[in-house]
Amino acid sequence: MTEKKFTALSALGDQVARSDGEMRARSAEFFDEIRRRHTVRNFTDQPVPREVMENCIAAAGRAPSGANHQPWFFGLVGDPGLKREIRLAAEEEERAFYGGRAGSEWLEALEPIGTDAQKPFLETAPWLIAVFAQRRGGVEDGMDKKNYYIHESVGIACGFLIAALHHAGLSVLTHTPNPMSFLNDKLARPATEKPYLLIVAGHAEPDAPVPNHALIKKPLPAIMKVY
């Protein structure tokens, strides 16, 4: 008997038909919400329920991926001691970065944002999410197959995650100390997983500054052309 490989969307019950008017309204509402997303570096220590974080990570896990292998792992870190260890390790790499590893052009590009080697938000914010890209895996847990389109897949999942966290009412910072191999050690992740992104999530301070440079967004005609 031939295995049935496909299930109709209507049979899944996931298909929702909407009118043109509804689509216009919903797309405009989403844009209005997402345009108010800003990267911040000043967080409060106000707790965030773990369930909120789990829901957002579950949403990220619904992202499309190469061969549906879902080549990602999310390490959710809330333990104060572990956050402290991650901060110290990250700042060690950042001091080397700002001390010359980055190069003058990169440092010049960062100057309008005002970043430096100090990363107190890694301890202050209630949650860190260490995102790992898996070189091997598969559609089921425990598989050991080659993964495909890894960086594209994990990047899409991170986009889902950031949008979900913002939708939940949280502020987010994407942090990428280079290299990030210390995260494999701190979180006991295998060598087949490469640290991809460190996401800081929590509540922004009421007067958290946003660099004017970060408010510059390219207009639609600069990023899109209709063919």
pTM, to two decimals: 0.95
CB 109 within 8 A of CB 98: no
Phi then psi dihedrals of residue 43, to 5 deg:
-115, 155
For residue 171, give the H/E element and its range: strand 171-175
The predicted pLDDT at position 2 comes to 63
Series of mean pLDDT values for 10-residue runs along the chain (227 residues): 81 92 98 97 98 98 97 98 98 94 92 94 98 95 94 98 98 94 97 97 96 96 98
The dihedral built from the CA positions of residue 37, 119, 127 and 125, taken in this order, carries a sign that is negative
The predicted pLDDT at position 21 comes to 98
CB 64 within 8 A of CB 155: no
The predicted pLDDT at position 1 comes to 53
In whole angstroms, give the CA distance from residue 105 to residue 223: 24
Residue type, 212: N
The predicted pLDDT at position 81 comes to 98
